[in-house]
Structures are given as structure tokens and as C-alpha cells.
Structure 1
Amino acid sequence: MDHVKAPVERAKKPRISVLIPTFRRPQLLPKALASILAQQNCSLDAIEVIVVDNCPDASARPSFERARESAGGRLGLRYLHEPRPGISHARNRALTAARADHVLFLDDDLEAAPQLIATFLQALTQTSAAILVGPIEPVFEATSDGSGDIADADMRNYFSRRYAVPNLADISDDIARLGTANALFDRHACFPDFDPFEPSLGLLGGEDTLMFRTLQQRGLRFAWVQDAVVLEFVPRQRQTQAYVRLRRFRSGQIRVLTALRMSPPRPVDVVRWMAIGAVQALGYGLISAVFRAVGNPRWRHMLSRAYGGAGKCLWTERFLFPAYGATSRLGK
């Protein structure tokens, strides 16, 4: 069965369902779960946590069991096994199982700040926005010599999510940087249909971008909640410009792929993104070459931006690669 020693159904309906898809990160998942157990200024009865294990051999099950025992019944924890490969299947399965009216997506490499749930609950009383989004702050794994790219401001900014706007400001027109991590959704307003995450993008990536653009197209509002913070663990292998270049390249591809999969498709946007990408690839590439010639260390950052532009032009099947799963080139 999918449920592992599930606790007795609680009398109260939870106010927030925390949804955590996981794939072969048994060392990180317990930290994510512990951070929810440690929430302050809110009753744990207001929260349920649903872990969806997307690994075919259910590798997260032992870690989940240990976390459940540590919780001692204080927190509603449920385990689901979704063997179909791809993050879309895992997220859709989690949504189907959620009981609360609002769902909060966390990744298995995130830790919630102690006031996260209380902050979101307060924000729900102050705004009618259907989607609430909070900051992501990186926590870099120390390199073997204690140095590395973590001191690079460009690298730190890349792994962060911040908006320079007041609390509860409307960010509906600026969703390009959003992902599902640390985003709270009104489940009924946002997901009236089954399987909102496109399965065909489950291994490639961009399923959340397509979902966000669909919600934007429907006229739903997004709001920024500046104190709803989560910390993202960034392992050593991601603290390289080579990794950032690859991820920027994929982000560029996603701009075009989501335009093609919108309903209806937007061929004009495809042409627009390809034109923007060509300018970015050439412009940032030239700036990178000049910076490198004069010894400016930001040449690497500019080269990464050029890769992002190139991805908008090189998005056909021969240039695609898995972002999720066992064959991922992005370690997701």
C-alpha cells in the first residue's frame, strides 16, 4: 500500500497541505520534514505533509519511517509511492491526495524557516491572491578547501529567489523566475482540473513554468510574501559555472517549449523568444570575451547568460536532455 502506517484521520481538516516530491535524496528529506515539525506560532493540526517518492525502488521509505517515528503523531505525515518517472507525475499525485484548501510545495532539498507556515497563514488573511510566493535563500555545501564559487555574488544571486518589492505586492506580471518550490496555492482556484503538471515535461523540466503561465493567462493573482523563507541546500557539484551554464541553457529552452504547449500554442512567442535569445547569445558572448581579455572575473557570469540565450534558439529534440530522473544532467 502507498500509505505507511498512516496516523488515524484527524478530526480537523488541515489548513495547509505541504507537498514534498522526492527522488533519491534520503539524506536530505529528513531535514525537510524536521523543519516542518519545528514550525512555530501555528498548530501542527493545521498542517499535513505528503511525501511522494518518485524513485522506482521507493528509496525514501526508510527515511520517511524514521521521520514519522520522530514526529510521534504530532504531525500528519503520509507517504505515497509514484513509480512513474517524472516530477509531473509526483506533483500531480500529491495534489490528488491533498485534503487542505491550500497546498504548499517544498522540494526535498529545502528547509522551512520556523515561521514559514504561520507567515503564510497570516498572509492568507491579508490578500486575496490565489498564489503566494516566498523567498529562497541558498545554503552552500562547503568545498573541500573551504573556498570555491560560493563567494561569487553572481552565483549566490542565481540560487536565490528575491523580489525587491513590498510585502504582499502583486507580482503577477513578473513570474518568469518562479518555480513551485515555496509557493502556496489556493487548490480549488488554481487546480480545478486533474493533472495540472504536464506529464510530457516531467523529465525535461518546465512543467511548473507552463503551469504558472496557464494560471497567469487565467487572470489569477500572485503575491510576494517576503518573510516566508526557505533555505535551499546547494551541493558542491552545483557550485560551478559549468552547472549554471547548463541550467541557464535549459531555462532558455523552457521559454520556447512552454510557448509551444500553451493552450492555444503561441508561435509568435516562439519567434520572439528566439530573437531575444539570438541577441543575448551574441551580446553576452561578446561581453564575456571582452571581460576575459581584460581580466574581469565576471566573464564567466556573462558566458552563462549567453548560454541562456542559446537555449532559446536551440530547443529542438536533438538539443534536449533530461532534467529529472536517473539520467538527469542537472542532478535533480
Structure 2
Amino acid sequence: MARISVVIPTFRRPDGLRRAVESALAQEGAPDFEVIVVDNAPEGGADRALAGIKDARLTLIAEPNPGVATARNAGWAAAVAPRIAFLDDDEEALPGWLAALDTALTDLGADIVFGPIDTVLPETTPAAHRDFLKGFFARTGPAEDAVLDDYHGCGNSMIAREGLSLTAAPFDAKADQLGGEDDLLFAMLKHKGARFGWASRARVLEYVPESRACLRYALARGFAYGQGPSQSCAARTPPDAPGVIGWMAVGAAQAVAYGAAAGLLWAIRSPRRAAMLDRSVQGLGKLFWGDRFAPRLYGGA
């Protein structure tokens, strides 16, 4: 039986999917692994994208109900291994990626580890915000493997599910169109004492599509990211009302302070203006954390 299941959810990205799958299957130095692709498009199509790839380790399943949490849950349920790695369909795993995740998880005694992400932007990316967008989609961390105090997103991660007592569908389907399903899960696990780690050599490339390589999308996603802390407190049983109020207060302060700074930087056309505006928008997310305010960025939306 495989020791690692690599889960790749996909939604209408045939070129990215093929690149992601080929990079996963090319991994060397890792324990036995399988690759599970979850086709989350109602009309299908992943089979055509993967035509010609013949590998016994590759399994394609269909989950026609569009939604990021539902797709991850389908891959989780289909996985047979005690360790699950997540690779997104816009990512390419570099050589040694899977072995580095597995080694860091073991050596650090962690429950979940995350790896670095380098951004590949399209040539059409606006020059004024190119540096900001490159950093926005990237993920950086310590130069060496290390224990982390906090968590990152699910793409380029590995979870040791045997010690976490998770359900067969650990990602909240309420986040299907909103995203943040990983934040909700990892925040809950942090509250229960889960240990996070950084796999410094588990590097992937993220190919940002033209539709997302713009300030409008980044700010919408930044707002959704900002909602995470408040939503995580509200989702606890019972809800952590003081935590919600605290994060809302932090968000209000951030929105005002960073918003004023962003206005000044915009007036002088500073290259830092987009980053400051992003911080202000994240503050607004903490303040207006309800689902009715959340941008629909995934699934059928």
C-alpha cells in the first residue's frame, strides 16, 4: 500500500493539470505514493487532459459538484495512504518535492507541513503591480526545516492524518464557493494542539493565470484571507465571541491605518501602494467577516 497519497483537485485547467500530474509522477526519492486527480468540473474533461499518461499510480475520480472543499474531501476519501499531500492544478512540483515534505513531517514530528511556492506570472501582468503580485502569490519561510507557530494554505502541504482523528470529509463544504476551507480546518487543528512545520526544500512553482494576475483579484482574495481569523473564532463550538470581537477591533485599526497609508502612497505613485492597500483590505475582511460579504472565488462561482 502507498505511504503517501498526492491529491490534485482540478477545475477546468487542462494544461495546468497535466503539468501538475506529470511533475508529481516524476518525483523520486519518496516512499511509495499514489496520485489522485479529482475532476471537479460538472462536464468532466480531466481524462482528455491526461490522455496518454499511463501510470498505475494515477487514479482519476469525478466529483461533479463544483466546490473547493468538496473536491478536497473527495480526494481525501479516495486516498489510501496515511499521509496526504495536496498539490493544486496550477502548481508544478520541483524535483525532490514529495521526499522533502515526507522527511520534514517525520523529522519535525509535525502533523502538517508546508513548502515554499515561487510565482510564475504571465507576460501580460501590469508592470506597476508586478512585484506585489509576485510576492502575493508566493510563499516563503525559514531557510531550513523548522516548526511553525501558524499555518499556510493547503496547496503544497502534507498532512499526517493518522494522528489527527479527522472525519471522512474534514473540509467544510460551506466554503465551496468562498475558499478558506483549509484555514477553517487548520485553525481548528491548531486550537486542538496540532503541530505545524516548514519543509524548506519542498518547492513548487505556481503558474498564475492571466485572469488572476491583477490587483482586483488579489484584493478580493486578500479580503477573503482577512476574514479567516474572525471566521475561525466564530466556527468554534461554542463560538469564541471575545475572539471575534478582538479580531474585528484589529481589523478596524488595520483598515484605517493602512488605508490612510495606501492613499498617501497612491498619491505619490509609490511602488509599495498595492501592498499597503492589500493590508487595509485584509483589515476590512476581519471586520466584515460574514459569508454574505465574502467574494465567491471558487467552484461554480
TM category (shorter chain) comes to: over 0.9
Name the TM-score, length of structure 1 as normaliser: 0.85
CA contact (8 A) 1:241 1:301 kept: no
Query: Of residues 32, 39, 54 in structure 2, which corresponds to 1:53?
Result: 39
- The residue type equivalent to 1:254 in the other structure is G
Separation in 1 of the partners of 2:84 and 2:73?
12
- Larger Cα-atom Rg: 1
TM-superposition CA deviations, 1:45-103 (whole Å, max 9, x none): x1100111111111222113x1xx33x33x41111111223111111111111111100
Query: Of residues 307, 315, 320 in structure 1, which corresponds to 2:294?
Result: 320
- The residue type equivalent to 1:137 in the other structure is D
Match in the other structure for 1:30: 18
- The residue type equivalent to 2:170 in the other structure is P
User: Are 2:93 and 1:112 aligned?
Assistant: yes
TM-superposition CA deviations, 1:191-234 (whole Å, max 9, x none): 53221111111211111101001111121211111001011111
In structure 2, list runs of 5 or more residues that go unmatched: none
CA contact (8 A) 1:149 1:239 kept: no
Query: Of residues 281, 285, 292 in structure 2, which corresponds to 1:311?
Result: 285
User: Are 2:48 and 1:62 aligned?
Assistant: yes
The 1:14/1:239 distance shift into structure 2, 3 A limit, reads same
The 1:326/1:199 distance shift into structure 2, 3 A limit, reads closer
The 1:292/1:88 distance shift into structure 2, 3 A limit, reads closer
Match in the other structure for 1:89: 70
**How many pairs does the alignment contain?**
301
Match in the other structure for 1:7: none
The 1:42/1:301 distance shift into structure 2, 3 A limit, reads closer
Instruction: Give the Å deviation of 1:312.
Output: 1.6
User: Are 2:134 and 1:156 aligned?
Assistant: yes
User: Are 2:145 and 1:168 aligned?
Assistant: yes
In structure 1, list runs of 5 or more residues that go unmatched: 1-12, 328-332
Instruction: Give the Å deviation of 1:41.
Output: 3.0
CA contact (8 A) 2:129 2:274 kept: no
Match in the other structure for 2:262: 288
Match in the other structure for 1:126: 107
Match in the other structure for 1:9: none
Separation in 1 of the partners of 2:19 and 2:236?
36
TM-superposition CA deviations, 1:157-207 (whole Å, max 9, x none): 2111111x3523110x222xx111111011212353221111111211111
CA contact (8 A) 1:284 1:305 kept: yes
Separation in 1 of the partners of 2:25 and 2:292?
45
